[in-house]
Amino acid sequence: MAHTAGVTSVPEFTERDLDPATDKCIVVATDGLWEFVTNQETIDMVAGVATPAISVDDLVKEARTRWLAEEQVIDDTTVITASLFSYMNA
């Protein structure tokens, strides 16, 4: 039934080499975040906090706020952030 709504069990993968000079963090999230929060907004929010845990809380709260402003329901929202090369520990 979910296939009729566009849901697929085949994941999308992207591979790239990481550069310590430019790559500071990774954000992995479900469409519950990406539906209303852009890539740039996400990076701006992650860059402004002290720990990955805080960035996850901030992103989920922002997604929830935007969902409620547009819809009667909130899509499931899963967010993982990871600091690269000790970015948030510097």
> Which residue in 90, 86, 88, 22 sits closest to 49, CA to CA?
88
Q: Given this model, what pLDDT does residue 7 score?
A: 78
The answer to whether 84 touches 78, Cβ cutoff 8 Å, is no
pTM tops 0.85, yes or no:
no
Sequential pLDDT tens for the chain (90 residues): 777 877 788 888 889 999 999 888 999 999 999 999 999 999 999 988 888 999 999 999 999 999 999 998 888 899 999 988 876 655
